[in-house]
Each structure stands twice: as C-alpha cells, then as structure tokens.
Amino acid sequence: MKKVVIIGGGASGLTTAIFAKNKENEVIILERNKDCGKKILITGNGKCNYYNSKQNINHYHSENEDLIEKIINKETNKQVLNFFDSLGIVPKIKNGYYYPFSNQAITIKNMLLLEAKRKKITMKNDFLVESITKKEDKFIIASKKNKITADVVVVATGSFACPKTGSDGMGYKFLNQLGHSIIKPLPALVQLKTTGNYLKDWSGIRTDVKLSLYENNKLKKEEQGEIQLTNYGISGICTFNLSGIIARGLDKNKKEVIKINFLPFLDFTKVEDYILWMDSKMDFVKNRTISEMLEAMLNYKLVNIILKESKINNSSYWYDLSPAKKQTLVNNLIAFEVMIMGTNSFNEAQVCSGGIPLTEINVKTMESKKIKDLYITGELLDVVGDCGGYNLTFAWTTGILAGLAIRENNHD
C-alpha cells in the first residue's frame, strides 16, 4: 500500500485525492484551514462557475503556452464533465458558463467532500505544513507538532492570490527547496490602477466597452464587455482578462496603455466613419447640444469627462465644432487612453500568473521532472485562465491527471 499525502484541500487537491484513492492507496489531505474547499465558496460570486463549454487554449496563458494543449483538450474536458456528472451535480448552463443548478458554490464543495468521505480519504484540517523533504524514497512532511511520512506527495496549496482563504504562497517555497524554479508570481484577474484627474468623477460608472491593450505601443490583446470605473482605475471581467499580461509587462518595465472604446456597438474602422455617423445623427438631434446628444448614448458623468478631456464646452453644438475638434472628441469616445500604473494586490487578485514552469513537470501526469513521486497541481503551475470558469477547469483537470497517474502508478 502506498501512502499519498496531498498538501492543500482546495479544488485541485480534493480532485486529486478522489481520483488517487483505491484499495492500494491510503490518501491523506493536509489542509491548513478548519475545512477543505474554502476558496471554492467565493468563486463565481458565490455561485461557482465551475466550467465553460467554450474551451480553447486561447483562454489559458503561460510562459509555455505550447504545452497547455497537452493538459486542456477534448479528452480532459470530457473527463471533467464526467466527473461532475458522477458527483450528481446538475448544471445550469448560461452562455456556456456552468454553474450548479442550486446557484450555490457550497453545492460543489459539499459534493466533493461527500465523495472524499465516501472514498474514505483522511482529511486533517488545521494542519499547517512547514517543510517537505525527501530522504531516499520517502517524503517527510512536517508541521510544528507532527511529522508524516509519505510515498507520494501532491503539492496543491494554491498561489499568493486571495490570502484570506489561506493561500500564502508556501507551496512555491516548498517546491523551490525541492529543486524547482519559480516564474515570479504576480497578481492576475485583478483590478488595474491608472492615472487621471477624472478618476473621482467617473467612480461608480458601469458601461459596455471594448478595451485594446498596447504594450510598448504595440497592440497586444483586445477584450469586450462591461467595465467598472473606479476611483483608482478600472475593473470588470474584460479588465481582469488583460491584467495578467499587464502585470508581467509592468514587472519588465514595459509601457502598458489601454484604449477604451465607449461606443462598441459601432463597428467602424476609421475615425472618419464615426464622424460621418455623428453627422448623420444631426437630422434628428440638430437642436441638442453636444452634451445632450452624447447623453443619449453614455452616462452623463462620462460625457462630462470626455468633453472636458476634449476641451469642448458642454453647451457647444456638434455642427459648430471644427474638424480638428470633432476628431479629438471621436478619439476620446473610441480610444480613450489610460496609462496603467499597476495592479491591485494579491488580496484582490483571483489568481496569479507565474509559478512552476510547465517544462518542469510531465504535463500528462503532473509529476515533477525533478523529484520522482512529487506532483504539482492547480494554481501553483504557470497557467492562468481567463474569467469564466477556466481556472477552476484547470484545477479539476490537473487534479484528475495527477490522481489517475498516482492510482495507476503511471510515471511515463
């Protein structure tokens, strides 16, 4: 019989345990919190968006993106869905987003814990691991009060993100001491800090936009969706999906600029086309000021800011503006430029970018290439997914792959 010790009882740790358990393996989860699955409860705003049918490796980002398709693919996607079917989870699917039909994240947590208990997996809560060492063919996991030996160890401790759930980054330390390199962890899926004397004025506005990220003046990525304007900068899902790239760029002293298109419902390619469109509206709104004209489309606070930044008086009329003023105004409507100065901290980040390079693990089994019988799953790996269930999908997938490899003693 092999003793398998999993450090961390979150999404990937619980999944690994469930798949690793058989008659030949004793499986133990060591969890620092009073209960396993704490972070699951806050995912999807408490509803747990646990999967997304729009699986595409373009939704996953890494220093070694060519290896992601070895982990996320049609076969593993099917394994994830079969797993949740086996747990009895009934999905509520909206635009490809999978939630439990109860709309409660606790449903996912409870079903995982029930399955772990049904399989007689030992869960030791309030167990804070302080070190992992390996002597000959045995691992020694130590806390202040206890030592546990193991034949197989899985490190599933999570990253630095969301430390209130117990994620303190200790897994990086353990793995570094065991010989792994670490790509610097940085906040991802997080709010962005910008500059501008209008931040206090636009705080609280929500509006649909298209964001274009320019890194060192080159277009890097675009996202479309709702943005939340704040007194420190910008937030919202489309912002989050750019934040990991931005954090890494800023860490390398790159210039990160986002251009905001506040008129995403117009799909013109040239500024001149927008001006012509505005000209065409004059038959209907010729007696309205430019402020009144724009308020038919945008939040009045935003209108005031855009006009002020364009140095145009609110009482002006569109047909009175010079061609240069029209171009300035349209530029601020479709390419409002904000300089990104930083991200919010790990406290606000949903996940991290960076971590253990994919080149240092067997991507088919999650086993370390450095240490035999050592496995790494979930957020510790250098993969970050977009918002929409992708990071949980990665957690379930890496847990399944590791668990199956341990159960089948597959070390190819």
CA-based radius of gyration for the chain: 25
> What would the pLDDT profile of 346-379 be if each residue is shown by its tens digit?
999 999 999 999 999 999 999 999 999 999 999 9
Q: DSSP label at 44?
A: G
Q: Which SS3 state, helix, strand or coil, does residue 108 take?
A: helix
> What would the pLDDT profile of 147-169 be if each residue is shown by its tens digit?
999 999 999 999 999 888 888 89
> What would the pLDDT profile of 197-241 be if each residue is shown by its tens digit?
999 999 999 999 999 999 999 999 999 999 999 999 999 999 999
Instruction: Report the distance separating Cα 214 and Cα 262, nearest Å.
Output: 17
pLDDT at 411: 42
Q: DSSP label at 90?
A: P
Give yes or no for residue 412 having a pLDDT over 80: no
The dihedral through the CA atoms of 188, 194, 200, 204 has a sign that is negative
Contacts of 409 (CB under 8 A, 6+ apart): none
- 42: which strand partners? none
Residue with the two structure tokens 């509803």: 47
Backbone conformation region of residue 96, classed left if phi is above 0, alpha if psi is from -120 to 50, else beta: left
Closest CA to 347 of 158, 160, 192, 185: 160
Per-residue pLDDT band at 82 (split at 50, 70, 90): very high
Residue with the two structure tokens 């809560």: 125
Give yes or no for residue 410 having a pLDDT over 50: no
pTM of the model: 0.94
> Residue 136 burial (CB < 10 Å; 0-12/13-18/19+)?
exposed
> What is the separation, in whole angstroms, between the first and last Cα of the chain?
20
In the chain, where are the structural domains located? Answer: 2-187+351-407, 191-344
CATH class of 2-187+351-407: alpha beta
How far is C-alpha 22 from the geometric centre of its chain's CA atoms? 33
